[in-house]
Amino acid sequence: MGTPQAPRTAVIVGGSVAGLFAGNMLHRAGWDVAIAERVPDDLASRGAGIARHVEMEPIMAAAGVREAGPLGIQVDGRIAVDRHGAELGRFEFPQYLTSWSYVYNPLKAAFPAERYHGGQELVAIGRDGDRPVARFADGLEIAADLIVGADGFRSRVRQLLAPTVVPRYAGYVAWRGLVPETALPAAFRAGGFGQYCFCFPPGGQFIGYPVAGADDSVAPGARRYNFLWYRHVPAERLADLLTDASGHVHDYSIPPPLIRPDLVEGLRRDAARDLPKPLAEAVALAQHPMLQPIYDVESERIAFDGVALIGDAAFVARPHAGIGVLKAGEDAEALARSLARGGSVADALARFEAERLPEGKAAVALGRRLGAFIERGHDSPQSDPALGLTTEFILRVSARPPSHSPDLLVPA
């Protein structure tokens, strides 16, 4: 009998959902996997509301997650209202909505805890013969058969291998907030809380919907209301929004506790002026709203010499597309499937790139299309008919994979 071969090794840089999808799938396929996450603390409190797609169920199962409970909060469709609350349109589309942690927590629980290492900051990628080497700030070096860059839109892995691919500011921001269901007025809880609602205040777009509670509960009374308010902000004004009370200007984003109180108060005043009363009340009730500048990331390559990029490290589609978590899972699944076909890692990465590169570009294109009117500072989606952004289009296409409606991706 021959000597059993040692398992192939993988280092996954980034311990959020993309890294956990890949880590779980490769671990279940017999790989020796280590996840290195820069942040030392647990990430469960990060993220907000997400759309849950039917395509996620087999992906979660492939990652070793058995989902016995509900997949989130089910809504029957979408409704659009104007700034005064008058209905503009409806689209019937049953869908589950939930929170980011509702996906992250079971993925984290499924991965071996001893193989997940927080507080590990990647500084370089080198070579040891034909294998890549991950080098970390504390001096640790790990040679592996595969390195997976799953470290988000500011990916260090991407910076090292494709330094010309950088996040591009889209010309607007999203204010995000979460409000406990019990904090909302009784009339709103009885009516608007359960709706997936789109509103079009001047120069932006507001979206609100129910998500799981802080403890991942979807029981009535324990849920939360999630909102995103996209607002046009020219590039020259972005620095002011990212400046904290001490005068420090943050790169790309700013931690919620450091957002200046005058900006939050201004947001609430504008909500009272520009939004229907129930939605304005939700904005007023949100504690520590988050400010998310919107960026695009579009890679030309996602496979290198023994290194792959997945999730937001590869492509960032604007949140209108609502497929960030799904895309991360699909990237990880495609990578694991390509590696399972056998042959060299190089051949597997070539197959992976050929499959996922077009999908990433399609997701970015969809997000750009849906956000085009905000990027341009238009008062409404219909301000420029050439964009083809009718209320019906936005209701039908938002928060759905491009494959659901390929005929609607190109303006008429």
CA–CA dist 91, 80 (Å, integer): 9
Parallel/antiparallel/unpaired status of strands 116-118 and 224-232: unpaired
Q: Are residues 26 and 77 in the same domain?
A: no
Instruction: Report yes or no: 259 and 248 within 8 Å, Cβ to Cβ.
Output: no
Which residue bears the tokens 């997000």? 367
Domain closes at, from 294, 324, 348: 294
Q: Which pLDDT does position 404 carry in this prediction?
A: 75
Q: Which amino acid is at 37?
A: E
- State how far Cα 263 lies from the chain centre: 24
The CATH number of the domain where 85 resides is what?
3.30.9.60
Q: Which pLDDT does position 412 carry in this prediction?
A: 34
Q: Are residues 218 and 156 in the same domain?
A: no
Query: Tens digits of per-residue pLDDT, 261-291?
Result: 999 999 999 999 999 999 999 999 999 899 9
Residue 15 makes CB contacts below 8 A (sequence gap 6+) with 23, 35, 36, 37, 39, 43, 108, 116, 118, 150
- Per the domain annotation, does 402 fall within a domain? no
Token pair for 81: 């209202």
Neighbours of 364 (CB within 10 A): 20
Q: Are residues 13 and 162 in the same domain?
A: yes
φ/ψ of residue 195, rounded to 5 = -95, 150
Q: Which pLDDT does position 4 carry in this prediction?
A: 57
- Per the domain annotation, does 382 fall within a domain? no
Domain closes at, from 294, 318, 348: 294
- Per the domain annotation, does 322 fall within a domain? yes
Neighbours of 88 (CB within 10 A): 15
Query: Tens digits of per-residue pLDDT, 111-146?
Result: 999 999 999 999 999 999 999 999 999 999 999 999
Q: Are residues 77 and 209 in the same domain?
A: yes
Q: Are residues 163 and 178 in the same domain?
A: no
**Domain enclosing residue 287, as ranges:** 73-97+169-294
Instruction: Report yes or no: 203 and 378 within 8 Å, Cβ to Cβ.
Output: yes
Q: Are residues 188 and 209 in the same domain?
A: yes
CA–CA dist 296, 168 (Å, integer): 5
Q: Are residues 360 and 302 in the same domain?
A: yes
Q: Are residues 13 and 128 in the same domain?
A: yes
Q: Are residues 344 and 216 in the same domain?
A: no
Q: Are residues 195 and 232 in the same domain?
A: yes
The CATH number of the domain where 328 resides is what?
3.50.50.60
H or E segment at 239? Answer: helix 235-241
Q: Are residues 81 and 161 in the same domain?
A: no
pTM of the shown model? 0.93
Q: Which pLDDT does position 72 carry in this prediction?
A: 86
Q: Domain tally for the chain?
A: 2
The conformation of residue 3, written as its DSSP 8-state character, comes to: P
b (16+ CB within 10 A) / e for 263-277: bbeebbebbeebbbe
Residues of the chain whose pLDDT is less than 70? Answer: 1-4, 43-47, 405-412
Q: Are residues 179 and 228 in the same domain?
A: yes
Q: Which pLDDT does position 67 carry in this prediction?
A: 74
Q: Which pLDDT does position 214 carry in this prediction?
A: 83
